[in-house]
Amino acid sequence: MKGSDRVATPISASPVWKSSARDFARDLDLSTEEVANLLELAREIKRHPARFRTALSGRYLSLLFEKPSLRTRLTFELAIKQLGGDSIVSNGPIAAREPLKDVARNLDRWTNGIVARTFLQSTIDELARWSAVPVINALSDLFHPCQALADVLTLQEHLGELHGKKIAFLGDGNNVAHSLMITATRLGMDFALAHPEGYAPSAEVVSDAAAGAAISGASITITTEPQEALAGAHAVYTDVWASMGQEDQAGERQKRFEDYQVSAERFAQARPDAVFMHCLPAKRGQETTDEVMESPRSVVFDQAENRLHAQKALLLMMLG
């Protein structure tokens, strides 16, 4: 442990780091300024974790998981524990035995926040509607906002100033692409998505992202041509071709997405110093190759680590 950490006194989040958002159900629940403050706080937590070890003492989280999880579950459990609080976990369909509104109003009597990883965005929205404590979207079919926060934190570490940089996403216009598009462009990054026909992102999400990009001066490119998206990219991102719940589409998707694999040859179409990103878990040999995953320019495990720090900052802002 560093000497500065050993002698530091515990502190709570500064008022500037307090979020005005009631919930974090979708990326736009945090203002652009709040996202910037969160990233600043996450860097501070990462540098000096011991200073925050009692910041959420006596606070408890409900963790609800309809989908299996490694990074999301463990990083949220570690985050609240390392901030002095604790968590309880429930696996399986959230409303299998009783209405969502009843689940929400039970949990808000027992805990200080609800983190939910669900199939449907409507599940997150309904929990937020009925809960008196903050609800955090840990993944839905429409958004993955906590992943995007860790991603831009990682990009700041490797690229420095984000304004004017470009990130290219190859593959499905899915929840990861949605959140990354909104968050990166609000911070001034140009965003390009190359997808096969029929797998475009939500038009509504693109419209929301474009509104933020217009303010920051960023650009958004949606194309079916990987080389167009990759040209001049400082970061190249991909995700699995078939997510949980899409297993019956896996064969068809594998055929449709073959040209969007981030191989070494594809990766070389970006800038020579571009970094490679993936939210994990990765299917090596499908959306990317082992060679790219293990490349010195792969930052996938930095992204995974930064889930912990970004989520600590988020919990401090929402519960602190």
Q: Which residues are catalytic?
A: 117, 144, 147, 239, 279, 307
Residue 129, Cβ neighbours under 10 Å: how many?
A: 13
Strand 190-194 and strand 113-117: the pairing is unpaired
The label of the residue with tokens 């570490």 reads 157
First-to-final CA distance of the chain? 25
- Do 234 and 275 contact (CB within 8 A), yes or no? yes
Dist CA 178 CA 36 (whole Å):
19
* DSSP state, residue 125: H
- Give the 3-state secondary structure of residue 202: coil
Q: Which residues contact 296 (CB under 8 A, 6 or more apart)?
A: none
User: Residue 194 corresponds to which amino acid?
Assistant: A
Q: Which long-range contacts (CB under 8 A, 24 or more apart) does 230-233 make?
A: 230/168, 230/170, 230/192, 230/194, 230/266, 230/269, 230/270, 231/269, 231/270, 232/166, 232/270, 232/271, 233/166, 233/167, 233/168, 233/192, 233/270, 233/271, 233/274
- Do 59 and 80 contact (CB within 8 A), yes or no? yes
**32-47 and 175-186 are packed helices; what angle lies between their axes, rounded to 10 degrees?**
100
Q: Residue 27 burial (CB < 10 Å; 0-12/13-18/19+)?
A: buried
